[in-house]
Structure 1
Amino acid sequence: MTTDTASPIPSDAEQFGKPLQGWRLRLYTIIFEADTRAGKLFDVVLIAAILLSVAVVMLDSVEALHQRHGRWFDVLEWCFTLLFTIEYIARLVCVRRPWRYARSFFGVIDLLAILPAYLAALVPELHLLMDVRILRLLRIFRVFKLTEYAIEYRLLSRALANSRRKILIFLSFVLMVVLVLGTLMYVVEGPEHGYANIPTSVYWAITTLTTVGFGDITPQTNAGRFIASLMMLLGWGTLAVPTGIVTAEMTSMRRRPVTTRTCHACLTEDQAADANYCRHCGAKLSPYQYDREEEQPVRR
């Protein structure tokens, strides 16, 4: 008998390699950790820069604003690009496995945040191949950088990763349902009613099961309407299953001990949630501001 246990997700220190000492260790603590005052300030500044840069991209897409303030938008864009470039280089420098970080999800997002501006400046021929605004739209990927600075985003991503096996099994079941019922609708309705082939019928089954219902293809026979009604009722329960899986996993994770505290003296991670002193150097640990499970102030 086997149990469905989720594999532990490696931390940033394990995945990218935390420096052992020196200025790289302090830089790593500021960039990748948020327990220190400098780390919190770094996160706040980066969050503000990300939001402002995305706002500039959105405002620059308005033709009237682009014609009137296009020069200022370009100046702001280069300021944000230089800021994110410095951040990207600093992340690569302070980890022991920079190539692994560059290939990670956040490493790719960091690259996409700065790449469009440099491509447009270094390769003028791109103007002949495509409108540079299309290239600049890649800057909107900066919004994904927000997920790196909020514990809630990381909690959600870990819950999705831990639930991936259950979700994949559920999606395979949904795929079988739409294939079977889509093929059945192709047999029942036929090309004369818009179900020209099985892929088109499967497309109709997906839109019906997800309760979207574009209405571009509709059943005309009583048997087809019966199948469509069955799929609509089935869609209610189908949409609730993945939500329940992820919610259950998030609840389970919130009940687990939180061990992300960092000693401000020696920068040792993974201190126990209820510890008062560092397990490595013995320095006094700063207390938690709140308890994540109950969201109530911790007794000090």
Structure 2
Amino acid sequence: MGWREKLHEIIYEADTPAGKLFDIILLIAILASIVLVMLESINSFDTKYHTFLNISEWIITILFTLEYIARIISVKKPIRYIFSFYGIIDFLSTVPKYISLILAGTHALIALRALRLLRVFRILKLARYLGASNHLANAIKASRAKIAVFLFAVLIASVIFGTIMYMVEGEENGFTNIPKSVYWCIVTLTTVGFGDIAPATPLGQFIATIIMILGYGIIAVPTGIVSAEYTKATNTDDNGLSDEEINILEEVHLNTQCCANCLEETHRDGAEYCFKCGCKLHHD
């Protein structure tokens, strides 16, 4: 096994001791960098420990830069990694500190490194359970027409009630115009209730009460729509498999072995070739 293959095994796979150690250190570094950015946003803390925070961020940024370069040189097709989902996230989480040398304040974008925590699914071997998220995505997609009609109805109701409140309360009670009254109605209807505007007349308070009660019912509608579609999605998957067949497939043991050619993951234990491109997985 050459050095590139060994490097690929350490960086892209979490089944080996070295790979697990690398990923654990990576996650700790990601969490540390996010904490540092948060602490730096606190003026009193930044004033006292600015030098420490800045040096720490640069150390982590340099480590991430070296890791990004290592990921590129350890795969057969670097372009595939660079423009992949994780490749773009890795790049965006590395460059903010460098950009901050030119544009002040952009280092706060380092918080994008939180997206790198998605790798925890691979490290903890949770990828096999991501099928549930696909069902949820399909359910939301199938519900989009019904939800769009529902939102349109809510918008119309908000305009009507907002206009009524403008006529009932008037400018003296904070409802200075119809758009602001519609804003108040939406805030009330969604049960957020900022409290910056409140009705003062008995009639206005009565109308506000009706809107609040409607708000609780409105919350349940999209939930019911998506739940119904999700139930359909879980009963039968995209290929028409039954629940029993799906359960059998979910019991197949998968690992985190990553193909050096196409970067495909979640291969079966003992697999010698990538199920997507056919490239050999194990190197002698």
TM-score over 0.5 for the pair: yes
C-alpha separation in 2, matches of 1:171 and 1:231: 17
Inter-partner Cα distance in structure 1 for 2:89 and 2:58: 17
Q: TM-score, normalised by structure 2?
A: 0.67
**Residue 138 of structure 1 aligns to which amino acid in structure 2?**
L
Aligned to 1:228: 211
* Alignment equivalent of 2:90, drawn from 89, 95, 110: 110
What TM-score, normalized to structure 1?
Answer: 0.64
1:43 partner letter: D
Q: Does 1:196 align with 2:177?
A: yes
| C-alpha deviation, 1:52, in angstroms | 1.2
Mapping of 1:34-45 within 5 angstroms? Answer: 34-45=14-25
Tell me: CA distance 1:263–1:168, structure 2 relative to 1, closer, same or farther (3 Å).
Answer: closer
Structure 1 residue aligned with 2:241: none
Residue 165 (structure 1) shift: 0.2
Aligned residue for 2:113?
142
Any idea what SS the aligned residue of 2:250 has? coil
TM superposition shift of 1:146? 0.7
Q: Distance in 1 between matches of 2:34 and 2:19?
A: 23
Distance 1:210 1:225, change over 3 A: closer
Give the one of 34, 51, 63 matched to 1:71.
51
Displacement after TM superposition at 1:73 (Å): 1.8
User: Is the alpha carbon distance of 1:98 and 1:246 closer, same or farther for their aligned partners in structure 2, counting shifts above 3 Å?
Assistant: farther
Unmatched segments (≥5 aa) in structure 2: 238-245, 274-284
Once the two structures are superposed, what CA deviation does each residue of 1:229-279 show, in whole Å capped at 9, x if it has no partner?
442231341474488479867899994515562498x9996555xx7x547
Letter in 2 for 1:59: L
The equivalent residue for 1:261 is 254
CA contact (8 A) 1:195 1:201 kept: yes
Instruction: Give aligned pairs, total.
Output: 247
Distance 1:72 1:33, change over 3 A: same
- After alignment, is 173-182 or 237-246 more displaced? 237-246
Task: Please tell me whether the aligned partners of residues 166 and 181 of structure 2 are also in contact (alpha carbons under 8 angstroms).
Answer: no
**Identity, % of aligned positions:** 33
Summarize the Cα distance change of 1:166–1:94 in structure 2 as closer, same or farther, 3 Å threshold.
farther
The alignment yields a C-alpha RMSD, in angstroms, of 4.1
Instruction: Answer yes or no: is the 8 Å Cα contact 2:30–2:114 preserved in 1.
Output: yes
CA contact (8 A) 2:139 2:226 kept: no
Residue in structure 2 matched with residue 207 of structure 1 by the alignment: 187
State the AA in 1 paired with 2:89.
I
Write the mapping of 1:28-67 to structure 2, written as runs, cut at 5 A. Answer: 28-67=8-47
Q: CA deviation at 1:92?
A: 3.0
CA pair 173-101 structure 1, distance change in 2 beyond 3 A: farther
Instruction: Summarize deviations over 1:69-101 as a string: whole Å, max 9, x none.
Output: 322222211110011111222233334554454
Tell me the SS of whatever aligns to 2:115.
helix
Specify whether residues 43 and 241 from structure 1 end up closer, same or farther in structure 2 by C-alpha distance, changes over 3 A only. Answer: farther
Per the alignment, do residues 235 and 279 of structure 1 end up closer, same or farther by CA in structure 2, a change over 3 Å counting?
same
**Retained in 1: the 8 A contact 2:158–2:185?**
yes
User: 1:246, 1:146 → 2: CA distance?
Assistant: 29
State the AA in 1 paired with 2:156. V
Residue 188 to residue 64, structure 1, CA distance change in 2 (3 Å): closer
Does the Cα contact within 8 Å between 1:49 and 1:80 map onto a contact in 2?
yes
Alignment-derived partner of residue 162 in structure 2: 186
Give, in angstroms, the shift of residue 110 of structure 1: 2.0
